[in-house]
Amino acid sequence: TEGMKMYGMTKTGPYGVALSYSYPHRFWTVAGSELQKTVVEADDSLHLMASVWDHETGTILPFDAGVSIELLRDGTLVSEEVAYPMLSQQMGMHYGSNYVLDGEGDYEARVNVGGTSLHRTGSFAGRFETAETAAFEFTFDTDELYDVELERLGDEAGTRGAVPAMEMMNMPMGAAPGIDSLPGTHLGRQTSGDAFFDAFAVEDGTQFDADGAYLYVSARTPYNEFILPMMGVRGTVERDGATIADGERLRRTLDPELGYHYGLSVDSVESGDTVTLTVDVPPQVARHDGYETAFLSFDSMQFEV
């Protein structure tokens, strides 16, 4: 495990934003079902990580419009890179990449948040559409970077598990809501592709923009139960031999109560219905060490109402 330190935390528009750093390190980007390894280059100075959340609820926000980080020195642009949406066993959902600096000294980092067109319900409707920029001033000191803690967990190698989530200045880590706090009838938990899928049925889904009942799925990592965003999930609902919904795409949605989830509107949900879920697009997020082989290939899952 590689530790991390923080350059600061601030608020801009509806967003809370934190900027933290660690050693430059490898990670894997995802395009469809293909992984591409990003190695550490000789001139990489540090790995910067931006966390973005709703400052009112603490809900971590995955942005389809993206996040970028500009680095300036004495007002002159030194580096600008798209920060990849990433999953880390210690941080959960965040944005990051390796960055090249122009030696030690004082810098300004501008974290540009692009807003989202993601479907939003409840008090989130109409929010998070504006682009905002959070500015941080920091001093890059290689001695401070080398003080970041490194730990080798040899005794647990080869066993199933995860590195515990970090706790830094009460910064949200992107954990999914507790199962007991979610509304509706819990249809159970299935494991596929190393991920947990908890399915729920709400008879009246009006508050979630559903015409009728609302089926939704909360997908999360095991152990730390971080949200798993940016997947393609399809659902089939069968009743007494008839197909009520046939492979329909569940809509990626942000809700203050349900968090980030995948939802489907159906006319009704009845006892005895069978819900089959398939994942045809794995989470389109880059992965740190420990997640590079997970959440890529999924078997179909069945739930009984």
pLDDT tens by residue, 218-249:
999 999 999 999 999 999 999 999 999 999 99
Distance from C-alpha of 147 to C-alpha of 86, rounded to nearest angstrom: 24
Q: Which of 79, 71, 140 is nearest to 111 (CA)?
A: 71
Contact in structure between 26 and 145 (CB atoms under 8 Å): no
pLDDT surpasses 90 at 59: yes
Which residue's entry shows tokens 């089926």?
215
Domain boundaries, the chain: 5-156, 179-304
62, 48 in Cβ contact below 8 A?
Answer: no
In tens, the pLDDT along 137-195 reads 999 999 888 888 777 766 777 778 887 777 766 788 889 999 999 999 999 999 999 99
Task: Read off the pLDDT band of 8 (50, 70, 90).
Answer: very high
Burial 1-32 (b: 16+ CB within 10 A, else e): bbebebbebeebbbbbbbbbbbbbbebbbbee
pLDDT: which is higher, 91 or 274: 274
CATH superfamily of 179-304: Periplasmic metal-binding protein Tp34-type (2.60.40.2480)
Neighbours of 58 (CB within 10 A): 14
- Fold agreement (5-156, 179-304): yes
Q: Which fold has domain 5-156?
A: Immunoglobulin-like (2.60.40)
The confidence score (pLDDT) of residue 272 equals: 95
State percent of the chain over pLDDT 70.
98
Q: Indicate the SS3 state at residue 174.
A: coil
